[in-house]
Amino acid sequence: MSSSVEELLTLLQLERLEENYFRGESRDIGTRYVFGGQVLGQALSAAQQTVDPARTAHSLHAYFLRAGDIEHPILYHVERTRDGGSFSTRRVTAVQHGQPIFNMSASFQIAETGVEHQQTMPEVPKADDLAPPASLPQEEFDKLPPKLQRWFRRSGPFEFRPVYPRDELNPPKRPPYQQVWFRLTRPIPDSPVLHRALLAYASDFHLIGTTLFPHGISFLQRNVQVASLDHAMWFHRPFRVDEWLLYSCDSPTAQDGRGLARGMFYDEGGRLVASTAQEGLIRVRPESA
In this structure, are residues 207 and 201 in contact, taking their beta carbons and an 8 Å threshold? Answer: no
Q: What is the pLDDT of residue 85?
A: 97
**Per-residue confidence in pLDDT tens, the chain, 289 aa:** 468 899 999 999 999 999 999 999 998 887 889 999 999 999 999 999 999 999 999 999 999 999 999 999 999 999 999 999 999 999 999 999 999 999 999 999 999 999 999 999 999 999 999 988 877 667 776 767 666 666 565 568 999 999 999 988 889 999 999 999 999 999 999 999 999 999 999 999 999 999 999 999 998 888 999 999 999 999 999 999 999 999 999 999 999 999 999 999 999 999 999 999 999 999 998 875 4
Q: Catalytic residue at 26?
A: no
Closest CA to 26 of 67, 64, 60: 67
Q: What does pTM read for this prediction?
A: 0.93
Is 135 in the active site? no
What is the reported pLDDT for 46? 98
- For the chain, which residues make up each domain, given as ranges? 3-111+126-284
The pLDDT value given to residue 245: 98
Active site residue 204: yes
Q: Domain 3-111+126-284 maps to which CATH number in 2.40.160.210, 3.40.50.40, 2.60.40.10, 1.10.10.10?
A: 2.40.160.210
Q: How many helices (H) and strands (E) does the chain have?
A: 5, 12
Write b or e for each residue in 108-132: b if 16 or more Cβ atoms lie within 10 A of its Cβ, otherwise e.
bbeeeeeeeeeeebeebeebeebee
> Which pLDDT value is given to residue 286?
85
- The predicted pLDDT at position 27 comes to 87
* pLDDT at 135 (0 to 100): 72
Provide the pLDDT for residue 219: 84
**Catalytic member of 45, 178, 228, 251:** 228
Which residue spans within the chain are E strands per DSSP? Answer: 15-18, 21-24, 56-64, 74-83, 87-96, 99-109, 158-162, 177-184, 224-235, 245-255, 258-267, 272-284
How many residues can be counted in the chain?
A: 289
pLDDT of residue 289: 44
> CA 132 to CA 216: how far, in whole Å?
23
Taking phi first (over 0 means left), then psi (-120 to 50 degrees means alpha), and beta for anything else, what does residue 9 get? alpha
Q: 4-43 burial, b for 16+ CB within 10 Å, e for fewer?
A: bbeebbebbebeeeeebebebbbbebbbeebbbbbbbbbb
How many CB atoms within 10 Å of residue 134? 8
Burial class (CB in 10 A: 0-12, 13-18, 19+), 236: middle
- Choosing from 204, 242, 250, 267, the catalytic residue is 204
Q: What is the pLDDT of residue 133?
A: 82
